[in-house]
């Protein structure tokens, strides 16, 4: 029992010391460290050799870091905990995480002799015989650059994959040029559309005809037991010579997407400042069906929903 208790503590201590040595015991100049502070939105995948459908964020589509005296507070970094405090001196922060213990160590380091980066490791300890997902450690590096925050994520370093992506503050992400259109250009979207998810639940969108420079819709998802499990308020409104798609899942805060492409049977709405989705596409098929696709601006595996017009 004493041996089993002592070993994890010893390993955690070694891990912390190794991390501190690797970071050279350095402390970041305040201005450099402050550059990682704030809310960050995924912009693009920069991992070399990755196929188009494999492109995507190496961690959450959005996350935040808050710089405090001697520590960085993580939020949205994949843990079940909203806030995790990572000390800059390499000491260990231990948090229970579902069926395992997560141990965080981190600090500031110099990168290639130019500038610096905040880096932390999270090591996972599971009960004997529980291998879980096979992830033993994750190392995340956050490097401020003139174009944004370059994030690198290594899983089980140095053996497994490394992914790299660019993140920016929302205000620093340019919005697309709107396409010229009126609500009447989307009259083909009007009607009641019914579809079925892969889970067997039904989903519907009921769009009003264009009137007064707008189209309104309500979406509803009902599971196989006949219970409504989700709803959404939607609208398309004319603004500054173009169209804006406004979505309110569950009636919550509205998110706007700008119309960027339009044909007689296809409409594309984009918002690169949103975490996910960044793009919503509606398209009529040759047989009169409707598809709604959500995803990133480039790459990834979009989510596609197929609808048929409701029979009268």
- In the chain, % of residues over pLDDT 70: 86
Mean predicted confidence (pLDDT) in 140-164: 92
The rounded Cα 140 to chain-centroid distance in angstroms is: 16
> Same domain, yes or no, for 273 and 142?
no
The mean per-residue pLDDT over the stretch 93-103 comes to: 84
* Judgement on whether residues 280 and 187 belong to the same structural domain of the protein: yes
Q: For residue 251, what are the CA distances in angstroms to 28, 73, 213, 237, 272?
A: 43, 30, 22, 17, 22
Tens of pLDDT, residue by residue over 227-258, are 999 999 999 999 999 999 999 999 999 999 99
Same domain for 211 and 119: no
Same domain assignment for residues 198 and 256 = yes
Average pLDDT value over all residues in the chain: 87
Domain that holds residue 23: 2-172
Residues 210 and 300 grouped into a single domain: yes
Average pLDDT over residues 141-164: 92
Q: Give the contacts of 138 (CB within 8 A, at least 6 positions apart).
A: 78, 121, 122, 153, 154, 155, 156
Distance of CA 305 to the CA centre of its chain: 20
> Is the same domain home to 135 and 58?
yes
Q: Judge if 92 and 112 occupy the same domain.
A: yes
CATH code of 69's domain: 2.40.128.20
Q: Give tens-digit pLDDT for 33-71.
A: 999 999 999 999 999 999 999 999 999 999 999 999 899
In this structure, are 148 and 194 located in the same domain? Answer: no
More confident residue, 169 or 14: 169
Enter the pTM of the model: 0.86
Are residues 223 and 253 located together in one domain of the fold? yes
Q: Indicate whether 166 and 191 sit together in one domain.
A: no
pLDDT of the residue at 115: 76
Predicted confidence (pLDDT) per residue in 185-219, tens digit: 999 999 999 999 888 899 999 999 999 999 999 99
Per-residue confidence at 100, pLDDT binned at 50, 70, 90? confident
Check pLDDT > 80 for residue 102.
yes
pLDDT > 90? residue 132: no
Q: What is the DSSP string of 197-253?
A: -TTS-EEEEEEPPPBTTEEEEEEEEE-TTS-EEEEEEEEEEEETTEEEEEEEETT-S
Q: What are φ and ψ of residue 185, in 5° steps?
A: -70, -15
Q: How far is CA 287 from the centre of its chain?
A: 34
Residue 240's H or E segment, with its range, is none
Q: What number is the average pLDDT over the span 283-292?
A: 96
Distance of CA 301 to the CA centre of its chain: 13
Provide the number of structural domains found in the chain: 2
Q: How many CB atoms lie within 10 A of CB 65?
A: 20
Task: Among 152, 172, 192, give the residue marking a domain's end.
Answer: 172
Per-residue confidence (pLDDT) for residue 249, from 0 to 100 = 96
List alpha helices for the chain, DSSP H: 2-22, 30-34
Higher pLDDT, 289 or 14: 289
Whole-number Å distance between alpha carbons of 145 and 151: 10
What average pLDDT does the segment 94-115 reach?
A: 82
What is the rounded distance in angstroms from the CA atom of residue 135 to the CA atom of residue 30? 33
Give the pLDDT score at 231: 97
Q: Which of 21-25, 94-98, 162-166, 262-266 has the lowest mean pLDDT?
A: 21-25
Higher pLDDT, 32 or 103: 103
Which of 139, 172, 205 corresponds to the end of one domain? 172
């Amino acid at each position: 029992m004493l041996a089993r208790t002592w070993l994890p503590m010893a390993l955690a201590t070694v891990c912390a010391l190794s991390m501190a040595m690797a970071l050279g015991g350095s402390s970041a100049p305040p201005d450099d460290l402050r550059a990682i502070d704030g809310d960050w939105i995924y912009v693009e995948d920069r991992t070399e050799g990755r196929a188009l459908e494999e492109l995507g964020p190496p961690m959450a589509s959005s996350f935040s870091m808050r710089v405090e005296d001697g520590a960085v507070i993580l939020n949205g970094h994949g843990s079940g905990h909203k806030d995790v405090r990572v000390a800059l001196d390499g000491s260990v922060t231990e948090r229970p995480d579902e069926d395992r213990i997560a141990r965080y160590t981190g600090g500031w380091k110099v990168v290639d002799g130019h500038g610096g980066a905040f880096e932390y490791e999270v090591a996972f300890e599971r009960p004997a015989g529980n291998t879980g997902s096979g992830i033993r450690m994750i190392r995340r590096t956050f490097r401020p650059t003139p174009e944004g925050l370059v994030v690198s994520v290594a899983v089980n370093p140095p053996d497994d994959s490394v992914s790299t992506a660019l993140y920016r503050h929302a205000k620093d992400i340019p919005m697309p040029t709107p396409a010229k259109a009126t609500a009447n250009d989307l009259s083909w979207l009007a009607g009641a559309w019914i579809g079925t998810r892969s889970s067997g639940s039904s989903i519907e969108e009921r769009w009003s005809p264009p009137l007064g420079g707008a189209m309104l819709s309500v979406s509803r998802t009902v599971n196989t037991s006949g219970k409504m499990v989700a709803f959404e308020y939607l609208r398309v409104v004319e603004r500054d010579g173009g169209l804006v798609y406004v979505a309110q899942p569950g009636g919550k805060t509205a998110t706007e997407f700008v119309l960027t492409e339009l044909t007689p049977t296809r409409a594309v709405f984009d918002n690169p400042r949103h975490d996910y989705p960044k793009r919503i596409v509606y398209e009529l098929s040759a047989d009169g069906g409707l598809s709604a696709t959500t995803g990133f601006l480039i790459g990834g595996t979009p989510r596609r929903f197929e609808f048929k017009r409701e029979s009268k």
